[in-house]
Amino acid sequence: MELLVWGGAAVSLIGLVGLVWSIVRVNRARKAGLDDEALRAAVQKVLPLNLGALFLSVIGLMLVILGIFLG
């Protein structure tokens, strides 16, 4: 079960990196001084990355909890 815990931690870490990357992309778009419509388009492009990274983080944490309960 130790493998499940470490695998879940790795998946969670990948999700966390994706979340940080989406934050960085939105901050770059905000600092670029785009108009409202262009900023909305940039945020809409980042939204799938953000949701996917959040999903990976949640799945990773579930795997960690499952590994702890089973171990």
pLDDT at 4: 94
- Dig out the tokens for 69 from the structure: 């309960």
pLDDT at 45: 95
Domain spans of the chain? 2-70
pLDDT tens digits, 8-53 = 999 999 999 999 999 999 999 999 988 999 999 999 999 999 999 9
Cβ-contact 64, 7 below 8 angstroms? no
pLDDT at 62 over 90: yes
pLDDT at 1 over 90: no
Provide the whole-model pTM: 0.87
Cβ-contact 1, 67 below 8 angstroms? yes
Output the CA angle 30-28-9, nearest 5 degrees. 120
- Dig out the tokens for 71 from the structure: 């171990």
